[in-house]
Amino acid sequence: VISVLSFAQQLVRSKVREGDTVVDATLGNGNDALFLAELVGPRGRVAGFDVQATAVEASRSRLMEAGVAERCALMLCGHERLAEVLATKGFGEVAAVMFNLGYLPGSDEAIITKVDSTLAALEQAVSALRRDGLVSIIVYPGHPGGSDEADAVESWAAGLATEAYQVMSYRPLNRLAAAPYGIFVCKR
Ligand SMILES: C[S@@+](CC[C@H](N)C(=O)[O-])C[C@H]1O[C@@H](n2cnc3c(N)ncnc32)[C@H](O)[C@@H]1O
């Protein structure tokens, strides 16, 4: 079986090449950041965002231990500032942006992604994509506020122009409606 998280990574892997620029929009413990840093290799660049200092620090240690921290710029700031930060760092077009929404398991459940900032960040993420680039979003309808956020992301994604983007979802159909699922936007 292929979990939602691993499906997202497989899709990202199929789009990203060595030397690319990519973004982890929700660092958390840095799982996706590490995955991305290994994927882009020493000539690639990873920008990472989180609003929690503990998440940024945990991710930084993880990347340092793996010897890949130099290619990563970790920002203690919200992903709704993605466009501004990428421009300041001189990052150009990106091959992939990963969002893993909700809260960080084992930390403060009140620090959670929110509809307005998520949609603002998603809009900036698709604008930053190069051709054939991918925005991967994992949503969690199971926690308070999570289903509103999942619905908002889904409506936003469904409204993207067909000529410009392919929009797909990877969702378990024989589990509770609250189970996490993936939404993927690929720029044509
Ligand atoms: C589900 S966790 C991410 C898990 C992470 N991808 C991993 O692999 O460990 C969601 C993260 O989003 C962060 N977050 C909440 N609001 C945010 C915002 N506006 N911008 C960036 N990150 C945010 C939370 O602090 C939390 O660490």
3-state SS string for 66-124: CCCHHHEEEEEECHHHHHHHHHHCCCCCEEEEEEECCECCCCCCCCECCHHHHHHHHHH
Instruction: Please state whether the predicted TM-score (pTM) of the whole model is above 0.75.
Output: yes
Q: How much is the pLDDT for 69?
A: 98
Q: How much is the pLDDT for 106?
A: 86
Q: How much is the pLDDT for 178?
A: 95
Cα(99) to centroid of ligand 1, in Å? 8
Measured in residues, the chain has a length of 188
Strand arrangement of the beta sheet that strand 181-187 belongs to: 72-76, 45-50, 21-24, 94-100, 129-139, 181-187, 165-170
Atom of ligand 1 nearest to the CA of 78: 20
Q: How much is the pLDDT for 56?
A: 98
3-class state of residue 1 by DSSP = coil
3-class state of residue 20 by DSSP = coil
Q: What's the pLDDT tens digit per position in 66-96? A: 999 999 999 999 999 999 999 999 999 999 9
Q: How much is the pLDDT for 107?
A: 85
Nearest residue (CA) to ligand 1, atom 27:
28
Cβ of residue 79 lying under 6 Å from some atom of ligand 1: yes
**Is the CB of residue 185 less than 8 Å from the CB of residue 9?**
no
Atom of ligand 1 nearest to the CA of 104: 2
What are the structure tokens assigned to 21, written together? Answer: 């620029």
Residue carrying the six token digits 């929110």: 114
Cβ of residue 102 lying under 6 Å from some atom of ligand 1: yes
Cβ of residue 54 lying under 6 Å from some atom of ligand 1: no
Cβ of residue 149 lying under 6 Å from some atom of ligand 1: no
Q: Could you give the angle at which helices 4-15 and 31-40 cross, rounded to 10 degrees?
A: 20
Q: Please report, rounded to a whole number, the percentage of residues in the chain having pLDDT higher than 70.
A: 100
**Is the CB of residue 185 less than 8 Å from the CB of residue 134?**
yes
Nearest residue (CA) to ligand 1, atom 23:
50
**Is the CB of residue 149 less than 8 Å from the CB of residue 139?**
yes
**Is the CB of residue 23 less than 8 Å from the CB of residue 39?**
no
Pocket test for ligand 1, best of 24, 26, 116 (most atoms within 8 A of CB): 26
What are the structure tokens assigned to 3, written together? Answer: 């979990």
d(CA 104, CA 94): 25
Other C-beta atoms lying within 10 Å of the C-beta of residue 92: 11
**Is the CB of residue 51 less than 8 Å from the CB of residue 77?**
yes
* 188 residues of the chain, pLDDT tens digit each: 999 999 999 999 999 999 999 999 999 999 999 999 999 999 999 999 999 999 999 999 999 999 999 999 999 999 999 999 999 999 999 999 999 999 998 888 889 999 999 999 999 999 999 999 999 999 999 998 999 999 999 999 999 999 999 999 999 999 999 999 999 999 99
Phi/psi-derived region of residue 170, left when phi > 0, alpha when psi is between -120 and 50, beta in every other case = beta
Q: What are phi and psi of 116, to 5 degrees?
A: -65, -50
Cβ of residue 32 lying under 6 Å from some atom of ligand 1: yes
Cα(27) to centroid of ligand 1, in Å? 5
